[in-house]
Structure 1
């Protein structure tokens, strides 16, 4: 019965994707299927409701953080923080280095903002425009942009996926970030080398910096606009609570928007709530977005999908599958089992959040150390979700930057990371157990 229910859920996901309907409809169908399964197997209606609510409660901090992230990214746009970074960073791009520069710039912006889609909508769009003006095929630039954007989406203390992993594994976000940087060093360097080599294939066609000019006309690009970004770096280094960091950075950005960009406090508040939507179409194409309202669908997805975790745990829905995963971990190491599980959950769930929660549920028994499991999740399911063509993490991202599906194989970092950590995990199985990665 469990397999039939999973098949029905998968069919609902595929139907929504094929018809262009909201994924929320498929998730609601899944909720009804899993809730009915619990009732069918002897769990009272009230117990199933309690289990669903308990699952949602595990993600309450992430939901609050998501709303703050929406306000923060809007404030950074309207204050000139993101335009300043994009304007100056785009000045030193040339044809031979544009792929490497796209990867590094997107990695920087995503590390500062913690959002892959926000990175795609800002520096990602500009990098794609510059690459197109140099006649670099979109599949190459799209791959570099995607790889860079998911670098920060994985390891930034501002990232909702990193916060989700910390919440469900009950680990410290800053410790996780430090360990994520450690396990990503070799894949990061390899990715840089690959994009540097690819860049030699293309001649400099003379980039046009129209986007930089648009930002120069629309904003006062003062160094003061870097203060909100600097606050994130400084406060993160001092291990200040993430929500307080975002509140402080948003407040600083709002003050700069009033003092430097000459907006009224009411206009800034409206942007923080509803997003930045300038009247100029050219500017809107580059910088529109953000705001608490922009997180509505994401919050709905997290609430529904997190309820699954509570129901799966209480009904033992995944118990049979866990036995197969345990057997796989003995042959392919616990990390190998997490990779295999991540591929399956990413293909079935079609979104990063649910895939992460399902992988955590299924792999808790094969890796009982919460800290190690947290890093395993960050090195697998968080990036693997972006490699599944029908996943939101892939399809929506490519749509934002107008890149083809052929970009996915060229997003090198996304598969270098799990492959490298799989290769280095094998010798560790012969060493005495320790808490170090």
Structure 2
């Protein structure tokens, strides 16, 4: 593959596919309210034309796309397993059990703290902030408003809890995407995020405790929560023994068993739980794995939460990753991203500047591309080589991508996340923005760590040797071509 050193792509040409994709993304997502796939395809076509104009053959451009897709394949495998896990855990009553016991801890004087914790528990269980906000979040809005709590505060607490789980759950698509695209072990990625996300949650809960003091005297209408708990008991066999399934996965993680075997064990246990504990059929358990679990209880909240999961539910995310990586593949392997990085790295000289620039780039991508997946995919490819060159472990990059990409998407009104929250919770960014504390503080914690060097992990001597060998091999391959 010929690189940018041989194909002189001018800097202004590099900006063309980015600006075209951003413009089409804004029109398609914000104006037309459609998904981000088509804008990325338009961006891919534009990038291919620029590469062809620079002298690359169509065969070479095809190979760039294929190489980009190959980079996403580890994440794609995990994402598909996540869909299977959610379907199995839904059908097996494992998620229902976790939610049921979580609902028992609500108390009137600690509503904001409690709803944030419950959303965190649910989101950890299912790996989805959107599903959590659309179910538990909607119920929380009704209960909180009946207590006289401002809608922005309630929504902020719901968002903070939901995105904590979305960011830290091994079932989350964004978590797997960030780990997979940077070549970081999933559980190493999650453990490294603890350093920024746990302090962020503690700060958020402290703020909610302070804000909630003035509502301590209000009476809480717990009818909605009681009805939900009753429906869960009627629809599933709730038993603490089912908590052994997620516990088993946690134990395997602690024993450093790789993500794929750990998830497969969780899928198998959930599958058998649906048949032997919930009394479901084998056909129903298989359908839950393929197309997701389905249930009709008459309770909109429970039906909304438990109708989902399965392999099919992840195909949108899988196709998103593949399409995005065809775009990223052309940008990277044609040398366009390197040209862009060369301009940026002229002003970024330190580790602190690199990590801070990564966080800022993710925020900018959220604002311009209107999609949190893109805010992870594009910066991951832009900054990967720079992290290697500075001898930084890949989990520094994967954490910065999530700190800057996953969390800040809620602050952009035209981002798909901001649009979703407005439509689901009925609250706009201006109202909930100041109270989405976790999402606000974690990017600053990440930058603070970059400046101080705290928790910044360098490559081991063995990793440095491997990096240098790979770089030498790449140069040799290029010279042979």
* TM-score, normalization by structure 1: 0.91
For the 8 Å contact 2:120–2:164, the answer to whether it is kept is: yes
For 2:84 and 2:457, locate their aligned partners in 1 and report how far apart those are by CA, in whole Å. 43
Equivalence for 1:408 = 433
1:417 equivalenced with 2:442 (yes/no): yes
For 2:98 and 2:78, locate their aligned partners in 1 and report how far apart those are by CA, in whole Å. 24
Equivalence for 2:263 = 246
Instruction: After TM superposition, list the pairs within 5 Å mapping 1:275-294 onto structure 2.
Output: 275-282=292-299, 283-294=302-313
Question: For the structure 1 residues 20 and 433, does the alpha-carbon distance in structure 2 shift closer, same or farther, using more than 3 Å as the test?
Answer: closer
Question: For the structure 1 residues 124 and 81, does the alpha-carbon distance in structure 2 shift closer, same or farther, using more than 3 Å as the test?
Answer: farther
Question: For the structure 1 residues 102 and 433, does the alpha-carbon distance in structure 2 shift closer, same or farther, using more than 3 Å as the test?
Answer: closer
Q: Specify the SS of the correspondent of 1:119.
A: helix
For 1:179 and 1:353, locate their aligned partners in 2 and report how far apart those are by CA, in whole Å. 20
Instruction: After TM superposition, list the pairs within 5 Å mapping 1:89-104 onto structure 2.
Output: 89-104=102-117
The farther-off stretch of 312-321 and 385-394 is 385-394
For 1:257 and 1:319, locate their aligned partners in 2 and report how far apart those are by CA, in whole Å. 50
Q: CA deviation at 1:403?
A: 4.5
Equivalence for 1:302 = 321
Q: Specify the SS of the correspondent of 2:387.
A: coil
Equivalence for 1:48 = 61
Q: CA deviation at 1:365?
A: 5.1
* TM-score, normalization by structure 2: 0.83
Q: Specify the SS of the correspondent of 1:220.
A: coil
Equivalence for 1:389 = 413
The farther-off stretch of 165-174 and 337-346 is 165-174
Q: Specify the SS of the correspondent of 1:367.
A: helix
RMSD: 2.6
1:337 equivalenced with 2:357 (yes/no): yes
For the 8 Å contact 2:120–2:162, the answer to whether it is kept is: yes
Which among 33, 36, 39 is matched to residue 20 of structure 1? 33
Gaps of 5+ in 1: none
Q: CA deviation at 1:326?
A: 1.8
Q: Specify the SS of the correspondent of 1:318.
A: helix
Equivalence for 1:204 = 219
Q: CA deviation at 1:54?
A: 0.9
Q: CA deviation at 1:28?
A: 1.8
For the 8 Å contact 1:94–1:204, the answer to whether it is kept is: no
1:136 equivalenced with 2:161 (yes/no): no
Question: For the structure 1 residues 231 and 402, does the alpha-carbon distance in structure 2 shift closer, same or farther, using more than 3 Å as the test?
Answer: farther
Gaps of 5+ in 2: 1-12, 461-481
For 2:307 and 2:148, locate their aligned partners in 1 and report how far apart those are by CA, in whole Å. 26
For 2:230 and 2:341, locate their aligned partners in 1 and report how far apart those are by CA, in whole Å. 55
Which among 339, 344, 355 is matched to residue 375 of structure 2? 355
Q: Specify the SS of the correspondent of 2:104.
A: helix
Question: For the structure 1 residues 155 and 324, does the alpha-carbon distance in structure 2 shift closer, same or farther, using more than 3 Å as the test?
Answer: farther
Give the count of matched residue pairs.
435
